[in-house]
């Protein structure tokens, strides 16, 4: 959904790649408390989300907003 909002398009393949990226980042960040603390600062995850999930979605959002096609639109 966020992919569509940012880029005004999406395919199932792109959504699957983004979901896999978030899943992998959640796994990696869950193992690295120091990196997780740096990414989140004083922010707290929303109810129902772990700190690692929240940080992983923050990283994914940053990735989408920094794509060349997002910047040039």
Q: What pLDDT sits at residue 18?
A: 86
In this predicted structure, the answer to whether residue 2 has a pLDDT above a threshold of 70 is no
Query: Tokens 């600062």 map to which residue?
Result: 41
pLDDT confidence of residue 5: 67
- CA distances 62 to 55, 70, 71, Å, are 11, 11, 12
Percent over 90 (pLDDT), the chain: 52
Instruction: Please give the model's pTM, rounded to 2 decimal places.
Output: 0.78
H helices present in 8-71, as ranges: 12-30, 33-40, 51-65, 68-71
């Amino acid at each position: 959904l966020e992919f569509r909002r940012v880029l005004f398009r999406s395919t199932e393949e792109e959504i699957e790649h983004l979901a896999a990226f978030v899943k992998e980042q959640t796994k990696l960040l869950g193992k690295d408390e120091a990196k997780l603390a740096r990414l989140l600062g004083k922010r707290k995850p929303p109810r129902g989300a772990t700190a690692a999930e929240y940080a992983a979605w923050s990283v994914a959002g940053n990735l989408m907003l920094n794509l060349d096609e997002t910047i040039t639109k």
